Amino acid sequence: MLISSPQYGNLHLLPLDNDIAGNHWPPGSSAYYCEKDFGTIVIRKYNAGQFRIQYVLVNLIRTISFLFKEEKPQVRNRLVLEGDFWMKTKDRQKQQIKSGQLLLLHAGDREETLHFEKEGQYVFLDTMYSDAFLQPLLSSFPSLAPFIHHAPSAKEQRKIRGPRFALPETTRIAQNLLQCPYDPGLRRLYFEIKMKDYLFQSFILAQKSGKKVNKLQQEEQEAVYMAHRIILSDITRHITIKDISGQVRLNEKKLKRSFKQVYGMGVYECLLQARMERARELLLTTDKPIKEIASLCGFDYLTNFATAFRRYFGDTPGDLRN
């Protein structure tokens, strides 16, 4: 990936030590950074031949635009994990990309301009695929073949490329990749298995027409997205649907119905999923006591946490850690 900006020209990325980067990826992955008065860019890369992964973290102290250019044309997914920004490719108008959204980018989209309007942290995960990696799935998703094999029409691009809010399972797989719980010797196999699942989930999303979501009024959609951000902003809070409804200015009935339409789960299901995934991460990557992890994930009592965890994962917190 080549990065440049009108103010700074081509940015030179320096190698970053794996210990500083916090590497949970397979052997052979690498990390780079660039630090200037605009802030810092950190990129972690892993190339497995048939697929590539790039984790990009942009930490800014001022408004700025960057041109990101891929050296090799490949179909790409981009999952935004944190921060809202604007994006423009060569053949598309500028569009806002929100945290939690997933885009499917055509191989011809080798470069795009990303505009960050304010200081803050922005994180996204790019995954790229070879034709050999894509081919086995295309027989099950024939509607995506024109998009994959040749330059699609404008209508096909609008229908397939999104952006759309990622399915919960897609986000879960991405977090698993970023915090791989296995020893280095098993990580290559783990990544290969997970990447196939990740691509499958993204194809499911791309194939959807989005008609149900499109029927929602714009104000309703924005309220649902805001509700989602409120839930994930602090998973320790015991927030009620009534509280969220008041904050997003949408009545409870509409909020519950529209939230499920957009995210495929209820408000409380979303909160529980976030708590369970955070608990799993802490159990596997820290030595914090289980009681402390329960508290950090919004549970006042250890027994309630253990029961919820076992129902969600099929194992107790202690079993998973062992």
Do residues 119 and 265 both lie within one domain? no
Average pLDDT over residues 235-263: 89
Closest C-alpha to 63, from 35, 88, 38: 38
Q: Is residue 106 scored above 70 in pLDDT?
A: yes
d(CA 255, CA 242): 10
Residue 287's alpha-carbon distances to 136, 273, 296, 322, in angstroms, are 41, 22, 14, 11
Domain boundaries, position 247: 213-321
d(CA 251, CA 62): 37
Number of structural domains the chain divides into: 2
Position 221 confidence tier, pLDDT thresholds 50, 70, 90: confident
Q: What percentage of residues in the chain have a pLDDT greater than 90?
A: 38
Do residues 223 and 245 both lie within one domain? yes
Do residues 205 and 219 both lie within one domain? no
Do residues 205 and 236 both lie within one domain? no
Position 298 confidence tier, pLDDT thresholds 50, 70, 90: very high
Residue 107 sits in a domain of what CATH number? Answer: 2.60.120.10
Domain boundary pick from 177, 209, 241? 209
Mean residue pLDDT of the chain comes to 84
Position 218 confidence tier, pLDDT thresholds 50, 70, 90: low
Do residues 243 and 111 both lie within one domain? no
Closest C-alpha to 126, from 50, 194, 44, 204: 44
The reported pLDDT for the residue numbered 290 is 95
Q: Is residue 316 scored above 50 in pLDDT?
A: yes
Do residues 201 and 229 both lie within one domain? no
Do residues 188 and 289 both lie within one domain? no
Q: pLDDT, tens digit, for every residue of 21-53?
A: 457 889 889 999 999 999 999 999 999 989 999
The reported pLDDT for the residue numbered 209 is 45
| Beta-bridge mates of residue 58 | 41, 122
Q: Decide: helix, strand or coil at residue 157.
A: helix
The verdict on pTM exceeding 0.95 is: no
Q: What percentage of residues in the chain have a pLDDT greater than 70?
A: 89
Do residues 61 and 185 both lie within one domain? yes
Position 18 confidence tier, pLDDT thresholds 50, 70, 90: low
* DSSP code of residue 309: H
At residue 33, what are phi and psi to the nearest 5 degrees? -150, 160
Domain boundary pick from 209, 229, 246? 209
The reported pLDDT for the residue numbered 216 is 60
Domain boundary pick from 142, 174, 209? 209
Residue 312 sits in a domain of what CATH number? Answer: 1.10.10.60
Do residues 36 and 150 both lie within one domain? yes
The reported pLDDT for the residue numbered 211 is 46
Q: Is residue 280 scored above 60 in pLDDT?
A: yes
The reported pLDDT for the residue numbered 161 is 57
Do residues 46 and 166 both lie within one domain? yes
Average pLDDT over residues 290-314: 93
Residue 220's alpha-carbon distances to 158, 164, 257, 262, 271, in angstroms, are 22, 15, 11, 11, 20
Q: Is residue 19 scored above 80 in pLDDT?
A: no
Closest C-alpha to 57, from 49, 45, 48, 69: 45
Q: Is residue 210 scored above 60 in pLDDT?
A: no
Average pLDDT over residues 256-282: 86
Q: Is residue 68 scored above 70 in pLDDT?
A: yes
Do residues 190 and 220 both lie within one domain? no
Do residues 11 and 31 both lie within one domain? yes
